[in-house]
């Protein structure tokens, strides 16, 4: 067998394999979309499990402010004593 024939057979095998992978992915995508449409038509009850953090007071507000100032000072390349906190509100 010549080198050209071996190269062409190798590249042909790779491209046929890639085409098969694309086809399999398309079929699986179609099946998933089909099941997703069926499951989206049925109503699902969603429980609200998130805690209400807005009503809880901050325990160590001074420590949080000090940590935040340290991070800002590090990013700005300055000393923490050069930063003055005028307001610190939770958004």
- Provide the residue-wise pLDDT of the chain in tens; the chain has 91 residues: 799 999 999 999 999 999 999 999 999 999 999 888 776 655 555 555 555 555 556 778 888 888 989 999 999 888 888 888 888 877 7
Compute the radius of gyration of the chain from its Cα atoms: 30
What the block records as the tokens of 17 is 């394999």
- What integer pLDDT is reported at residue 7 of this predicted model? 95
CA pair distance 37, 24, nearest whole angstrom = 20
What the block records as the tokens of 8 is 């062409």
Among 90, 85, 56, 86, CA closest to 71: 85
CA pair distance 31, 66, nearest whole angstrom = 54
- What integer pLDDT is reported at residue 85 of this predicted model? 84
Helix (H, G, I), strand (E, B) or coil at 43: coil
- For residues 83 and 72, the answer to whether their CB atoms sit within 8 Å is yes
pTM: 0.40
- What integer pLDDT is reported at residue 56 of this predicted model? 54
């Amino acid at each position: 067998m010549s080198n050209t024939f071996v190269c062409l057979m190798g590249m042909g095998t790779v491209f046929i394999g890639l085409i098969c992978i694309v086809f399999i992915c398309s079929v699986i995508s179609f099946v998933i979309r089909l099941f997703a449409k069926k499951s989206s038509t049925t109503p699902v009850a969603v429980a609200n499990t998130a805690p209400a953090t807005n009503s809880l007071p901050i325990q160590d507000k001074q420590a949080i402010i000090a940590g935040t100032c340290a991070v800002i000072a590090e990013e700005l390349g300055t000393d923490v004593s050069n930063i003055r906190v005028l307001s610190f509100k939770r958004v």
